[in-house]
Amino acid sequence: MIGAIALLCLCQLAGEIIHRLSGLPLPGPVIGMVLLLGWFALMPRERPTLSAVTGWLTAHLSIMFVPAAVGLVEQGPLLARYGPALVVATMISTLLTLIVAVTVFRLAARRIPAKDEAP
């Protein structure tokens, strides 16, 4: 279990290093996931161990949010001052994201013929 967690951390660290040294426009964790995928291609026997570890981590994912919640509590005065504006900005950006996503989906759906239609 420790080895699998170390592998996850090592891939993420390597991804961060590659990102910072190369200036690639991809986040370090994404590069780390690609490295992990390459590791799986080379060492397929590692999959069961890592599956067990990632299942455990996913089951206890709520623990990962405790530091963020503590940070929010510590920033109470700032949230009281800027909170309403943050809520409005979040709602507007979410609505705009939904509108853009629906529009793109509809445009893409028009370009792809249905299976029962002749091309």
One domain, residues 46 and 11? yes
Is there a single domain that holds both residue 55 and residue 77? no
For 94, the domain range is 73-114
Residue 53 lies in a domain: yes
| Segment 65-106, tens digit of pLDDT | 888 888 888 888 888 899 899 999 999 999 999 999 999 999
What is the tally of structural domains in the chain?
A: 2
Burial of 39 (0-12, 13-18, 19+ CB in 10 A): middle
Q: What is the pTM of this model?
A: 0.53
Write down the pLDDT at residue 104: 96
Q: Do 4 and 52 touch, CB atoms closer than 8 A?
A: yes
DSSP three-state, residue 117: coil
Specify whether 18 is located in the same domain as 45.
Answer: yes
Coil/strand/helix, residue 18: helix
Q: Are residues 9 and 42 in the same domain?
A: yes
Per-residue pLDDT band for 10 (boundaries 50, 70, 90) equals very high
* Other residues' Cβ atoms within 10 Å of the Cβ of residue 15: 22
Co-location of 13 and 61 in the same domain: yes
Residue 113 has a pLDDT of 78
Residue pLDDT, tens place only, 27-50: 999 999 999 999 888 988 878 888
**pLDDT for the residue 72:** 83
2 with 50, same domain: the answer is yes
- Cα–Cα dist 119/113, whole Å: 7
